[in-house]
Structure 1
Amino acid sequence: MTAVDAPPARPTGHPEPRTRRTGRWIEDWRPEEEAFWEETGRPVARRNLWVSIFAEHLGFSVWLIWSVSSAYLVASGFDFTAQELFVLIALPNLVGSLLRVPYTLAVPIFGGRNWTVVSALLLLIPSGLFVWAVQNPTTPYWVFCLIAATAGFGGGNFASSMANINFFYPAAKKGAALGLNAAGGNLGVALIQFGLPVVVGGAGVFGLVKASDGGIHLERAGWVYVALSLVAAALAFRFMDNLATAEAKPREQLSVLKQRHTWIMAFLYIGTFGSFIGYSAAMPLLIKLNFFVPTPAPTGTGINFAYYAFLGALVGSLTRPFGGWLADRFGGARVTLYVFFAMVAGTLGVLWTLTQLTPNPTADPAIALDNQAWFPAFLAFFLFVFAATGIGNGSTYRMIPTIWRTKALEACDGTEAGRTAAIGKATKSASAAIGIIGAVGAIGGFLIPMTFGAPWVADPVAAVRSAFLVFSAFYLVCAGVTWAVYLRRSVLVARFPSLAPAGV
């Protein structure tokens, strides 16, 4: 046994956990008890949280490595169309969303620490294959698609990390803890989009670092993440813990699929996180498509995406903990409602700037210079949307444990033992729901790039404008669902009386 060497007597209502014989397993974990939390739980939870943040951060970076590297493939000698590049950045998001379900189930089966080690080592596959593929211009496109799909391993890391951290913290602290954990992971998107152009020699850093004179070397980015994945696995092995109290059978976890709130929250999460990851993946190509032309050679004319593409993911990542904090204070549903209204306004703003541009299918440098004048407005509206998605990611994830905890407490017999058992069951169900909801929400990361430039899209520039109009309508629907299910006074009083007036 680790972390808790001599646990106090177990209060009535706490089931005896199964004793583990090997590994770093904590057998006694009671975060809802204030004395236990202050004396023992907080430092252990924080240690696991910070390592989890680092490992998840790398997962996001590997997941989105194609979002920025795809913009350099043509310059590296690969003859791919804009539609083919949008598919490359969409595939990791599809695979990552599908892997989130088994990654969530893995935490109670193998332990949070153990699975963090395994999931970090799995990142060696997409990183190593990336190194191999980008060094050979004769690599077929279908091989690139397969390799890009393996980057989905990084997307699965988010679900297992969030499910694991949810077990460590008491209900009152979950919003901030889950927000920090998710923000640290989301920052991996900003880091890869900012750092990869510098590492591979494709761009400098605002005059502080110059672009490489020896051409672009995409394989360097792959080697960096091969090394960092090994570091993450070592840190998890050394400093993280498994919780015996987090044990749950897959059938019990998957029972959340039968609950309507799982699917309602998944729908809302498509709007928040699906937008964040989808826009993050597509932003480098969107900037290049609308504000840059490759002539005159060799530098081209217009906006260099490498200087700005990372800003969206950075803003969305930094605002995510703020969303969790706001949800803790004012109620997640209320915050989420305002988020969707903000996303409607911001998306319409982006659409308005795009309608002011002159399409440049002939790669005319003069047109690129005319469009360049609209870029500040485009970027400002887009960053506003990213900020809203970050806040919405934090507020929706705060709603999940609150909903399950409230439903469990309302169904228990009211005794102390009944409340303790209900909270334990709700925590396990909420962790499973987090994985399922995260999986469905991440599908937005696949749908958005495909909407912008799927193989059957003849004109990606026109498709982008139509897509933003559709997205605005979708966010209005999400706002209506949030209000109807979680904020209407009659619904609130009938279904969540213990949470009024702040709501979920």
Structure 2
Amino acid sequence: MTRSRHITEWNPEDAVAWEAGGNAIARRNLFWLIVNVHVAFSVWYLWSVMVLFMPQSVYGFSTGDKLLIDATASLVGALARIPYTLAANWFGGRNWTTFSSVVLLIPTCGAIVLLAHPGWPLWPYLVCAALTGLGGGNYSASLAKADGLYPQRLKGFALGLTGGMANLGSAGIQAVGLVVLATAGHEAPYWVCAIYLVLLAIGGVGAALFMDNVVAHRAGLSIANLRAIVPVLDSWVISFLYLCASGSFLGFAFAFGQVLQHNFVASGQTNGQAALHAAEIAFIGPLLGSLARIVGGRLSDHFGGGRVTLSAFAGAIVAGGFLVVVSAHDDLTRAHGGPVTAETMTGYVIGFIALFILTGIGKAAVYKLIPSVFEARSYALGLDDAQRRNWARVRSGALIGLAGAFGALGGVGINLVLRQSYNSTGTETPAFWIFLVCYIGAAVLAWVRYIRPHRAHKLAPGPQQPSAPERVKA
């Protein structure tokens, strides 16, 4: 309690200082960053679980209404990411992490009130979902702080671990929801919220006691730095790639349970049975995708972000095409009066879980591109080594916030496209076609910009300094 909370000098590239204690400081701050971003991410996904406790006969909301609630939380999470990243760097990692955890106590309590008193109109649920969306802002802020804590050779691991453990929050709250559904049914949804009230308190107190404000990073992220990356083509290429990868993961994590519940009901199950069976499966996709993100960070450190990004989107094309085929076959079966079969449900689950894993890997790979791109560009600036690395770090932090916001907007798009697809046609097939086209575009863009052999700006495969062609391009 008596130690200083401020670090005025921080250079993780200084090997001597790193081994003399810098790595321990980074680990301690990273641990509490991960704890808090995991819990905040869970609260962001609170309504993806709560809608399973809301049968239409009691609350009066259709599948489209529930997807709108999810889309609202996703939208606010997207819009909050840039201001949250700016605030974390200005007020300090410790101060902002503590504050952002305390703020989330408000919508968590609000969800208890709404769910305990059915009969409210839709708008209070949308307001509460919007406030839970603030948990999504923690994501980019935490990644930007993790990026600044670690040296270039370990950034892929640090970003992959932080992002992966954050993404596990979506699986974690769904697993908690499954336990509550299995033990207490629809009558006690407040237990899910109560558990996260406790976890928010633990995370906030831990951040206040054990984290540091790295004052050396305060000047790193600003409106000026955001403006500086706007003219850079790679900023928009990476943002689009992250929109496709992260947007798919985030959107599917919100919508997967709803898609399953909708189809289980169509197969003849009651709402209660459909909700339980959807909850039993829904958490698996975000869980495996989150773990895949950690693996994707390691793979990107070894093979390069560009190659891993291309591979992930190539796999997503196959998985997306598979979902199109499964859904089109299901439409044909229903048109002839047949029910949703077990084989069809199995196909949906396999396709979605494959996309969770592939987009989880893609999220880590795209974020690995960010520090690599600016590290490469920094060599043409004529700065000394410390200034060059600081320039690359602050530009990377700015793009992490920008790309993170775009990724969350992709999650909004997933939910809105699915909602429109259900409302217009009663099926998911048109939405799956749109997702497939996006994966094809992302794969082509990744190959053209970061893989094509004769392009001078291709990124080096390893974690060390960029190759000579990269320096020339930069």
Asked if these proteins are the same fold (TM beyond 0.5), I'd say yes
1:445 matched to 2:411? The reply is yes
Q: Tell me the equivalent position of 1:317.
A: 290
1:398 matched to 2:368? The reply is yes
The answer to whether the Cα contact below 8 Å between 1:409 and 1:423 also exists between their aligned partners in 2 is: no
Distance 1:2 1:346, change over 3 A: farther
* 1:29 partner SS: coil
1-structure distance, mates of 2:173, 2:270: 26
Q: What CA RMSD, in Å, does the superposition of the two structures yield over aligned residues? A: 2.6
Q: Tell me the equivalent position of 1:367.
A: 339
Q: Tell me the equivalent position of 2:423.
A: 457
The answer to whether the Cα contact below 8 Å between 2:306 and 2:459 also exists between their aligned partners in 1 is: no
| Superposition deviation, residue 294 in structure 1 | 8.5
| Superposition deviation, residue 377 in structure 1 | 2.7
Q: Tell me the equivalent position of 1:470.
A: 434
Q: Tell me the equivalent position of 2:224.
A: 252
Q: Tell me the equivalent position of 1:331.
A: 304
Distance 1:52 1:494, change over 3 A: closer
The answer to whether the Cα contact below 8 Å between 1:358 and 1:367 also exists between their aligned partners in 2 is: no
Letter in 2 for 1:65: L
1-structure distance, mates of 2:138, 2:334: 39
The answer to whether the Cα contact below 8 Å between 2:421 and 2:430 also exists between their aligned partners in 1 is: no
Which of 48, 54, 58 is the matching residue for 2:39? 58
The answer to whether the Cα contact below 8 Å between 1:293 and 1:300 also exists between their aligned partners in 2 is: no
The answer to whether the Cα contact below 8 Å between 1:91 and 1:148 also exists between their aligned partners in 2 is: yes
Q: Tell me the equivalent position of 1:9.
A: none
Which of 402, 410, 416 is the matching residue for 2:380? 410
Which of 84, 107, 112 is the matching residue for 1:131? 112
The answer to whether the Cα contact below 8 Å between 1:335 and 1:395 also exists between their aligned partners in 2 is: yes
The answer to whether the Cα contact below 8 Å between 1:287 and 1:303 also exists between their aligned partners in 2 is: no
2-structure distance, mates of 1:289, 1:148: 21
Question: 1:425-450: per-residue Cα shift (whole Å, max 9, x none)?
Answer: 21111111101110011101101011
Which of 47, 69, 73 is the matching residue for 2:28? 47
Q: Tell me the equivalent position of 1:490.
A: 454
Letter in 2 for 1:37: W
Distance 1:450 1:102, change over 3 A: same
2-structure distance, mates of 1:354, 1:494: 38
1-structure distance, mates of 2:249, 2:320: 12
Q: Tell me the equivalent position of 1:8.
A: none
What aligned pairs does 1:412-431 form with structure 2 within 5 A after superposition?
412-413=382-383, 418-431=384-397
Q: Tell me the equivalent position of 2:179.
A: 198
The answer to whether the Cα contact below 8 Å between 1:84 and 1:454 also exists between their aligned partners in 2 is: no
1-structure distance, mates of 2:269, 2:92: 56
Distance 1:38 1:269, change over 3 A: same
Query: Which of 1 and 2 has greater Rg?
Result: 1
Total equivalences in the alignment: 465
2-structure distance, mates of 1:494, 1:316: 27
Letter in 2 for 1:433: L
Q: 5+ residue gaps in structure 2?
A: none
2-structure distance, mates of 1:435, 1:367: 45
Letter in 2 for 1:228: L
| Superposition deviation, residue 398 in structure 1 | 0.7
1:382 matched to 2:352? The reply is yes
Q: Tell me the equivalent position of 2:201.
A: 230
2-structure distance, mates of 1:69, 1:168: 36
What aligned pairs does 1:207-226 form with structure 2 within 5 A after superposition?
211-212=183-184, 215-226=186-197
2-structure distance, mates of 1:294, 1:300: 11
The answer to whether the Cα contact below 8 Å between 1:180 and 1:321 also exists between their aligned partners in 2 is: yes
Distance 1:447 1:245, change over 3 A: same
2-structure distance, mates of 1:123, 1:99: 13
Question: 1:204-254: per-residue Cα shift (whole Å, max 9, x none)?
Answer: xxxxxxx326x5212222222222111111000011111121021623332
Q: Tell me the equivalent position of 1:277.
A: 250
| Superposition deviation, residue 260 in structure 1 | 2.2
1-structure distance, mates of 2:168, 2:248: 15
Q: Tell me the equivalent position of 2:467.
A: 499
The answer to whether the Cα contact below 8 Å between 1:486 and 1:492 also exists between their aligned partners in 2 is: no
Q: Tell me the equivalent position of 1:144.
A: 125
The answer to whether the Cα contact below 8 Å between 1:87 and 1:450 also exists between their aligned partners in 2 is: yes
Normalised TM-score (structure 1) = 0.87
Q: 5+ residue gaps in structure 1?
A: 4-22, 204-210
| Superposition deviation, residue 358 in structure 1 | 5.2
2-structure distance, mates of 1:412, 1:420: 11
| Superposition deviation, residue 42 in structure 1 | 0.7
* 2:330 partner SS: coil
Q: Tell me the equivalent position of 2:445.
A: 481
Distance 1:495 1:234, change over 3 A: closer
Normalised TM-score (structure 2) = 0.92
What aligned pairs does 1:86-105 form with structure 2 within 5 A after superposition?
86-105=67-86
